[in-house]
Amino acid sequence: MPDSTRRRPDGRLILLLGALAVCGPLSIDMYLPSLPALAASFGTSPAAAQTTLTSFIFGFSFGMLLYGPLSDAHGRRPVLLGGIVLYAIASIACAAAYSIDALVFVRFLQALGAGAASVLARAIARDAHEPGDAACVLSMLSIVTSIGPLLAPLIGGQLLLLGGWRVVFVVLTLFGAACAVTAFLRVPETWPKEKRASAALGKSFAAYGHLLTDPVT
């Protein structure tokens, strides 16, 4: 008997999952035009300003590894909501950052939240649909995440002209807050409790070590 949580694709859910999946690309590419202004604002070098990008990529990569096992053990919905709320809070902290070091730190936290949105958007798409439909939904999410980096620098450049680099992070805050509220209202729990009971965090993280040490894998 098919899993009762699986259903035909829901256009509104797909749009929401697409918005969640694009959090990472938007947060990287939307603020790229602001890097020179950011360096000037803090009186630092372009290289120091670019560490905010390095920090984000590191946090995003770490989050991608972290949230899969966490959501297997505790469910998709609470981990997703926690991540997207962290993203929104960290985004407003980026807008209010008083030094380049503070911005590097909160960019790392912002990336952790974006990692949850990216990983769990895809996990929920797989959980909530039959395999054939899930493949179509994942393809749509891939299209969205491909278009995002193309449009984000254009949007970021216009925001820079309108109000400076901090405005970019204010817009990302509003985007994250909208995603958090919509996810709270519309995203169901798609990972059954009986599967969570069998998910061991230690086992999942041990598998990463096996992948790193096994040359065949």
Report pLDDT for 214.
64
Give domain status of residue 1, yes or no.
no
* Structure-token pair, residue 201: 């965090």
Give domain status of residue 66, yes or no.
yes
Nearest-angstrom CA–CA distance, 86 and 214: 35
Closest CA relative to residue 72, chosen from 214, 205, 181, 209: 205
Report pLDDT for 181.
94
Q: What is the tally of structural domains in the chain?
A: 1
- pLDDT by residue for the chain (217 residues), tens only, comes to 444 455 555 667 778 888 888 888 889 999 899 999 999 999 999 999 999 999 999 999 988 888 888 888 888 899 999 999 999 999 999 999 999 999 999 999 999 999 998 888 888 888 777 777 777 777 777 787 778 778 889 999 999 999 889 999 999 999 999 999 999 988 888 887 777 655 555 665 565 565 566 655 5
Report pLDDT for 1.
40
Report pLDDT for 211.
59
Give domain status of residue 19, yes or no.
yes
Give domain status of residue 41, yes or no.
yes
Report pLDDT for 113.
93
Give the distance, in angstroms, between the CA of residue 82 and the centroid of all CA atoms in the same chain. 11
Q: The tokens 């992948």 sit on which residue?
A: 211
Report pLDDT for 2.
46
Give domain status of residue 17, yes or no.
yes
Report pLDDT for 63.
87
Nearest-angstrom CA–CA distance, 191 and 3: 11
Burial class (CB in 10 A: 0-12, 13-18, 19+), 179: buried
Give domain status of residue 151, yes or no.
yes
Give domain status of residue 4, yes or no.
no
CATH of the domain at 163: 1.20.1250.20
Give domain status of residue 184, yes or no.
yes
pTM of the model: 0.85
Domain of residue 18, residue span: 11-213
